[in-house]
Amino acid sequence: MNTAPDHAVSPWAYLSAQALHYLFFAVRGQQFLRRQATVGGRHWPAFGVPGPGVALTIDDGPHPQWTPRMLDLLDRHQVRATFFLIGDRVRERPELVRRIVAAGHAIGNHSMSHPQPFAALAPPRLRAEIARTQAEIEDAVGLRPALFRAPGGNWSPDVLRATAEIGLTAIDWTVNPSDWRSPGVSRIIRSLSRGRPGQVLLCHDGGGDRSQTVEALDTVLPRMLDRGLRFVIPGDGR
């Protein structure tokens, strides 16, 4: 995950975006404790999925090493996931986007360049980050995503408005193992294993060495399946 600040924003916009970033930490904690996480609306992203399913979402790809490893893992366990893709990386690896779709997974928009903090960007640049990624994915695979996740989960009224104007559904998460930090396989397993029906799990296949994520999921996915959990796509619950 790219956490470097975008220096083309004003100090006030940066501070406001950082405040929203930490606010959403608290909101996600509340959502995790709810019997049913919020499935989204006009003023909020979706933190959960309807019904008894659970959604696995994978951010920051496609990556030439870790996306194929992740796809092999998902195929082995017969699990569907949603890959939130970065436009610049789609342009570099369009064949991986085609492989994701051919394997039956969903794809979502994760901005063109993953700027941080995303909510600090001016509205025209917000829309450009999202719209350019839509175009790159359509060029690669012939379809336009229906889902968008803000880089770092950095939402604001402007981000949600731009998402809706482009016709996308905003998707957040409920369970975050912080695998992008490479905290250790056992910690990732413990965090993901807390997932319950109706929740959205966050993992990564891009942005660094994702060997811990792959190893952890190879343990967690069969456990979840043994618990009777069904993996669905956020935004439609299928």
Give the SS3 label for residue 204.
strand
d(CA 9, CA 120): 6
Per-residue pLDDT at 6 = 55
Per-residue pLDDT at 238 = 44
| 10-residue stretch averages of pLDDT, the chain, 238 residues long | 57 90 93 92 90 96 98 98 98 98 98 96 97 98 97 96 96 97 98 97 97 98 97 77
Instruction: Tell me which residues are annotated as active site.
Output: 59, 204
Residue 176: both structure tokens together: 């975050």
Per-residue pLDDT at 127 = 98
Q: Which residues of 28-65 are buried (b: 16+ CB within 10 A; e: fewer)?
A: beebbeeeebbbbeeeebbbbbbeebbbbbbbbbbbee
pTM: 0.95
Q: Return the closest-CA partner of residue 107 out of 131, 128, 88, 133.
A: 133
Give the SS3 label for residue 68.
helix
What is the total residue count of the chain? 238
Q: Return the closest-CA partner of residue 84 out of 192, 168, 22.
A: 168
Per-residue pLDDT at 8 = 67
Residues 6+ apart with CB under 8 A from 78: none
Distances (CA, A) of 45 to 14, 94, 149, 170, 187: 21, 28, 9, 5, 27
Per-residue pLDDT at 3 = 43
Per-residue pLDDT at 151 = 97
d(CA 208, CA 3): 12
